[in-house]
Chain A
Amino acid sequence: MDFQAVIDSLPRYAEPLLVTIQVTVASAALALLVAFALGLMTSSKHLVVRTPARVVVEFFRGSSVVVQLFWFAIAMPVILGIQFDYAIAAAIIALALNYGSYSSEVVRSAIASVPKGQLEACTALNFTPIQRMRLVILPQAWPEMIPSLCSFAIMLLKASALVSLISVTDITRMATLIGGQGGGVNQLPHLALILVIYFVLAWLIWNGMRALERKAKRGVGIDAKLPKNRAIDAPAAAAGGGGAA
């Protein structure tokens, strides 16, 4: 094993690292949009809204992400006649639809977990369904979603390595390209390197999400130090406990 060679090759990882980050961030942002769109639709009481969303969710959850990736990268350009460098965009779309479908269940169940009494208060105050969603349900559901969405973001980071299968040069593909030149055993330090890179990126996502969660919980009047949902589940017990700040 030649560690000096690994250190010398570090600059060559710069661009692939950007690709990995770009694919992860772009597909995560798009996946979040997809998750909310599908999550809101699957929460609808109207069958005509709910059904198509369910079909999309089950389709993307029920088929392989690798196959979806190949479809978007290889089959779609043929069908649609796309000529430009489409591989990264295809990867982003495929990952966003797949992870967005999974995450829509997070959105749906967080919406469903808002206590019924909150909805009844909205009726008593004559909010429209849109006002109810915007002012009451989503602000309360959002902090509940963050931990699960964080897990999906980290899974998405790791799944971004799949782009190497469609010849996009991310860090995974770079490691096999460089390491592969001198034989199998030389790949090991490169694989170790990208293992560390993925770990650091995941750690960054996790920390960002933790900060977001704390902020979101303050926004619903839940102090992170207090037991979860105390205000909602046991109003009477909150007497004195929250402190009359």
Chain B
Amino acid sequence: MPSPTSNEPIIRFDRVNKSFGDLNVLNGLSFDIAPAERVTLIGPSGSGKTTILRLLMTLEHITPVKHPEENGGVMWVEGEPFSHMDKGGKLVVANERHLRQARQKIGMVFQQFNLFPNMTVMRNVTEAQVHTLKRSKDEAAAKAKELLDLVGLSDKVDNYPSQLSGGQQQRVAIARALAMDPDILLLDEVTSALDPELVADVLGVLRDVASSTNITMLIVTHEMGFARDVSDRIMMFDKGVIVEEGAPEAMFGDPREERTQDFLRAVRSE
């Protein structure tokens, strides 16, 4: 599997299965993501992009296979089993305690922002720092101010989410995720719910985050210009398998697979 560094992968999908009832969404999917790599997942609706991100955020759980030591069906993060845990040399499906510890490294920004409407912007960004990272109130507030400044919302700290535009809400959500110091940031169509004129601001913030940090990013987006600029690698999915992958120049400029060509043509004509 090609990867830009020789480092151990930060994320490894090893023959991962995921079904919803009878529907097999991922069928033995394998890929590696290198530390600090930015990877954009593209592909038609229903190809499993969101499912991959939700598995990493532990919002969904893999469909286990027998004997994971030989047969895989395991997600690894930072060299540790993620979907599973080590029990006397055997891999068993992770329990809640393992997941709680494992997901600390991962943050997510949602399409619908999912800010807490009962909290001010400030509390949205500080509350989890205080309660789950056990930072002091002052420390959390200082971190929040710094990040709200980064996303250009230092003047909105006392507002409630309902008093902000969609673009502003999404920027708060980005600050909220970054406040947890994730090693891995998951972005699932974070501009799809926004009015067109608000998209650029949010993408601008994400470009800043990409250039000023070394957070590993998994991105699902229809903004092909943005994907080309920030990504190290594009993965084209269809029906839960990787059809084609490569550097953005190659993928957007000269895709080999017909399915990729069709998909890109369809996206561009939108």
Contacts and interface: CB of A to CB of B under 8 A. Distances in A.
B1 interface: no
A205 B62 CA distance: 51
B180 A123 contact: no
Given A131-B132, A135-B127, A125 B117 contact: no
Given A219-B118, A235-B169, A126 B59 contact: no
B59 A120 contact: yes
Given A231-B161, A235-B169, A125 B128 contact: yes
B58 interface: yes
Contacts of B58: 123
Interface in B92-128: 100, 103-104, 106-108, 110, 112-120, 127-128
Interface residues of A, number: 35
Contacts of B108: 124
B88 to A, nearest CB: 27
Contact of A236 (B104, B161, B193): B193
A239 interface: yes
B77 interface: no
Nearest to B133: A126
B187 to A, nearest CB: 12
Interface residues of B, number: 40
B5 interface: no
B146 to A, nearest CB: 18
B177 A124 contact: yes
A187 to B, nearest CB: 51
Interface string A185-209: 0000000000000000000000000
B29 interface: no
B132 A240 contact: no
Nearest to A221: B160
B162 A136 contact: no
Given A120-B114, A220-B118, A125 B180 contact: yes
A121 interface: yes
A232 interface: yes
Contact of A127 (B57, B59, B120, B132): B132
A140 B112 CA distance: 17
A135 B162 contact: no
Contacts of B162: 221-223, 226, 230-231, 238, 242
B167 A239 contact: yes
Interface in A113-139: 115, 117-118, 120-121, 123-128, 131, 135-136, 139
Q: Which of A125, A244, A245 has the most CB of B within 10 A?
A: A125
B152 to A, nearest CB: 13
B194 A231 contact: no
B159 interface: yes
22 contacts: A115-B114, A117-B110, A120-B59, A120-B110, A120-B114, A124-B57, A125-B127, A126-B104, A127-B131, A128-B132, A131-B132, A135-B116, A135-B119, A221-B119, A221-B160, A222-B117, A222-B162, A235-B112, A235-B161, A235-B193, A236-B198, A239-B195
Interface of B: 57-59, 100, 103-104, 106-108, 110, 112-120, 127-128, 131-132, 159-167, 169, 176-177, 180, 193-195, 198
The 5 residue pairs across chains A and B that have the minimum distance between CB atoms: A221-B160, A231-B162, A125-B128, A239-B165, A236-B166
Given A117-B112, A139-B118, A226-B162, 10 more contacts: A123-B58, A123-B59, A124-B106, A124-B110, A126-B104, A135-B131, A140-B118, A221-B163, A244-B159, A244-B163
